[in-house]
Every structure is written in C-alpha cells, then in structure tokens.
C-alpha cells in the first residue's frame, strides 16, 4: 500500500478495490453513453445547426458560462475545502447529461435542438473544461499536492469524443439493415440511455450502502446540490426567453443547461486520485448530484409537460385573435371600398 501525495496520471494505481470498480464502470459508461450520443446525430442534424445558431449560442453560454460560475460562487460562499470545492466546480463544468434528450421529449420540448446541443456540448467540452479548470480551480483551489491531472482529463475527454465519432459513423453508414423494425443505431441509442440510468442507480446504491458518510452532509452541501439543476434550468429558460426563442426551444435549452454529465465527473475524479480518502471527499458532489438529478429531472419534466398544455392553448388563442383581427381589417377594407364606390 502506498500513501502518495502526488496526483499525476502516470503513477495512478488505486488502493481500494471498490474505487477501482467504480472507476472502471464510470469509464465504461462514458464509452457507451458517448457512443449513444453519437448515434443520435445525423448529417441532417449537423446541417440544421446553421439554422439554430442563436439557440446553440444561448445553450453554450448557459452550459459553460453560467454553470461553472454558479458552482464556483457556491464553493466560495460555503467556504468548501479544496477537494469538496473541486468536485462541486467540476459538476458545473461538465457537459450536458446523456438523458437530457429523453427528458426534453417528455417535456414536449424541441428534441432535435436538444440532440444538437448535447452533441455540441460534448465536442466543446474538449476545450471548455480545461479552460474552466484553469479559471475556477487552478486560480483558487489547486495546491502542490492536490492538482487536476491534465493527462487524465484529456484521457477522459477522449473517452467521450472517440465513441461519439464512432456512433456518428454508425448512424451515417447504417441506412438499410434493421433489427425488428429498428436500425442498429436506434438500438444502440436506447441501450446507451438504459445503461446510463442503470449506472447511476449502481453508483447511488454503492454510495448510500457502502459509503454512508456521503449522505451525512450538512445543509451547506445538501441545499446547493438540491438547487443546482433547478437554478440551471431557470437560468437557461430565462436566457432563452430573453432572446425570444419559441417555447419548445426554451424547454430544450433549460434542460440542457441544468442536466449535467455526472458520469464524466465521477470518472475523471476516480482516475485522477488514487488515494481513497481524497476520492471520497471529491466525489461527494457528483454522487449526491446524481441522486438529485434523477429527482429534479423527473419533476421538471412533468412541470414543463404540464405547462406545455397551456402553451398550446395560448397559441390557439393567439391564432384565433389574429384571424379575428384579419377579418376586422378585411371588413374595414370592404366598407371603405363601398364608401368610395
């Protein structure tokens, strides 16, 4: 057994078997989920990006601008120790979650936009996460013996980018062969979403059964974790409303902003530190965030779905008002013409 203070990637060897299992599971799940995300992106989806530039810019600013800043403010205001703060900020820096497209669908949101935003945030993570780490972590929380390993970071990012590219290739090539009425890429997408959800359940069971100290946190940890996703969704929706996006697109931007890829954070932390105590401290936020992610995403999707019914009624009312106004204008034109005659 070694007790090293170095956190470099080269001498990264786990001291606890349980941590190794979670690390390998997290790395495997990133491969599967990223492959599934790649399968959702078609050439037509990429072409549609040019018609949704405003929505994508709003989502980008919300995802990589507001969320990292918000988690940094939480860490500063709550006076977290270094490891807890790093775990908190990394949750804010993570790209969108793998199931945000599903929750957008349940919310009657703009699913094509959600798919494009998920793919875009996954690609942008390759340069935005290192930048956010430099701005928010390196400047305030890095010490000589507690440091983010950049080789590990880029390895974790490769676990996202390479499978996503392979998934896109499968989607592009698989245009004929089907299994039970579905293309192979459609099955891969479904399996990836299911396995991603199963992984979160496994992590939560492990955390709350074998690592009970995770749930024994104070209000300074629980309250921000509970509010993290709802606040992100509120900001995304408000920003989309300010820029006059339609309501389904607002819901998509909202969920893409609030839903974080906790699997990515768990894998990066597990691969970075081989010391179990450091791992456990830094993993508090992503573990508890995974729990609240399931709860918050559920009620937010139900809320948005409920509100979408009122949106449809408003649109019908606006359409009827527009028709009535047009009829009045037409009648006025007829009356004016009769007078001239």
341 residues of the chain, pLDDT tens digit each: 344 334 433 444 444 555 566 667 767 777 887 787 778 777 776 666 667 788 888 888 998 999 999 999 999 999 999 999 999 999 999 887 667 777 887 888 887 788 788 778 877 888 888 899 889 988 888 665 666 777 777 777 787 778 888 888 888 888 888 888 888 888 887 888 777 777 767 766 776 676 666 778 889 999 999 999 999 999 999 999 998 888 988 999 999 899 888 878 888 887 777 777 788 888 889 888 888 887 888 899 889 988 888 776 665 565 555 555 555 555 555 444 454 44
Question: What SS3 class is residue 105?
Answer: helix
Q: What is the model's pLDDT at position 254?
A: 93
Q: What is the model's pLDDT at position 333?
A: 52
Rounded Cα distance between 124 and 128, Å, is 6
Rounded Cα distance between 178 and 60, Å, is 35
Residue 309 is classified by DSSP as H
* CA distances, 234 to each of 31, 56, 304 (Å): 30, 17, 12
Nearest Cα neighbor of 32 from 189, 158, 173, 179 is: 189
The H-assigned helical ranges of the chain are 17-39, 43-48, 53-61, 67-77, 82-93, 100-106, 111-132, 150-173, 184-210, 219-242, 247-258, 262-272, 276-282, 284-340
For residues 290 and 96, is the Cβ–Cβ distance under 8 A? Answer: no
Q: What angle do CA 137, 63, 161 make, to 5 degrees?
A: 85
How far is C-alpha 217 from the geometric centre of its chain's CA atoms?
24
Q: What is the model's pLDDT at position 253?
A: 92
Q: What is the model's pLDDT at position 301?
A: 87
Contacts 24+ apart (CB under 8 A), 153-157: 153/129, 153/268, 153/272, 154/130, 155/9, 155/271, 156/27, 156/30, 156/264, 156/267, 156/268, 156/271, 157/125, 157/126, 157/129
Q: What is the model's pLDDT at position 9?
A: 35
Instruction: Say what the pTM is.
Output: 0.74
Rounded Cα distance between 149 and 269, Å, is 9
Residue 214's CB is within 10 A of a number of other CB atoms, namely: 19
């Amino acid at each position: 057994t070694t007790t090293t203070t170095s956190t470099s990637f080269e001498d990264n060897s786990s001291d606890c078997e349980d941590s190794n299992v979670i690390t390998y599971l997290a790395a495997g799940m990133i491969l599967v989920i990223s492959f599934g995300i790649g399968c959702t992106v078609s050439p037509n989806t990429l072409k549609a990006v040019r018609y949704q530039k405003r929505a994508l810019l709003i989502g980008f600013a919300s995802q990589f601008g507001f969320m990292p800043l918000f988690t940094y403010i939480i860490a500063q205001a709550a006076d977290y120790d270094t490891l807890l703060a790093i775990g908190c900020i990394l949750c804010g820096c993570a790209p969108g979650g793998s199931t945000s497209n599903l929750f957008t669908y349940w919310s009657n949101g703009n699913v094509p936009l959600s798919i494009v935003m998920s793919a875009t945030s996954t690609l942008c993570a390759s340069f935005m996460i290192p930048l956010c780490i430099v701005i928010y972590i390196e400047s305030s929380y890095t010490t000589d013996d507690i440091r983010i390993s950049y080789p590990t970071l880029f390895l974790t990012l490769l676990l996202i980018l390479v499978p996503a590219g392979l998934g896109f290739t499968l989607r592009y090539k698989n245009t004929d062969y089907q299994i039970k009425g579905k293309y192979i890429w459609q099955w891969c997408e479904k399996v990836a979403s299911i396995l991603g959800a199963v992984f979160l359940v496994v992590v939560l069971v492990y955390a709350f059964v074998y690592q009970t100290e995770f749930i024994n946190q104070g209000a300074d940890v629980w309250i921000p974790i509970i509010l993290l996703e709802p606040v992100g969704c509120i900001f995304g929706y408000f920003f989309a409303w300010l820029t006059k996006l339609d309501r389904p697109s607002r819901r998509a931007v909202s969920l893409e902003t609030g839903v974080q890829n906790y699997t990515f954070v768990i894998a990066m932390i597990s691969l970075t530190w081989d010391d179990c105590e450091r791992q456990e401290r830094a993993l508090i936020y992503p573990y508890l965030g995974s729990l609240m992610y399931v709860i918050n995403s559920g009620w937010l999707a139900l809320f948005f779905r409920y509100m979408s019914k009122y949106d449809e009624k408003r649109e019908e009312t606006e359409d009827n008002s527009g028709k009535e106004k047009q009829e009045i204008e037409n009648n006025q034109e007829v009356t004016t013409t009769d007078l001239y005659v």
